[in-house]
Amino acid sequence: MKTTGISRRIDEVGRIVIPREIRKTFGIKGGDQIEIFTHNNEIVLRKYNVSTGLGELVGRLNSEFSAVRKDLDRETADKIYGHINALQDLFESIETGEGRSGTN
């Protein structure tokens, strides 16, 4: 992780200001969504990207389903797996821009 040497105080209602240089570097503009999560006892801010979030969720869903698939009857497992594959295909089409309709 790169240190910036910049610190900010949290105001009375819990807000902080992200410095202009950092917003410019990451392309963050007013109204953009920021994802907040923790990792190794740190608070991490990341510009929210719906396709990245979707990809992570689909991957986690696939992994979790693989762990319990053997406990289901084959027909049910195949149906669920088909839905997971459809989500994966949707994610891939969003990533490649093929999922956008009506844009030229």
Each residue's pLDDT tens digit, 8-38:
999 999 999 999 999 999 899 999 989 898 9
| Alpha carbon separation from 53 to 1, 61, 76 (Å, rounded) | 21, 12, 27
Helix (H, G, I), strand (E, B) or coil at 42: strand
Please say whether the beta carbons of 93 and 85 come within 8 A: no
Task: Inform me whether the pLDDT recorded for 104 exceeds 50.
Answer: no
Is the pTM above the cut of 0.75? no
Instruction: Pick 93 or 65 by higher pLDDT.
Output: 65
Instruction: Pick 47 or 28 by higher pLDDT.
Output: 28
| Alpha carbon separation from 33 to 2, 19, 50 (Å, rounded) | 22, 16, 10
**What pLDDT does residue 100 have?**
47
Q: What is the DSSP letter of 46?
A: E
Helix (H, G, I), strand (E, B) or coil at 31: coil
Interior/surface letters 63-94, b for 16+ CB within 10 angstroms, e for the rest: eeeeeeeeeeeeeeeeeeeeebeebbeebeee
Q: Which two tokens stand for residue 43?
A: 């608070």
Average pLDDT, rounded, for the chain: 84
* pLDDT band at residue 66 under the 50/70/90 scheme: confident
> Among 50-54, 64-68, 74-78, 88-92, which is the least confidently predicted range?
50-54
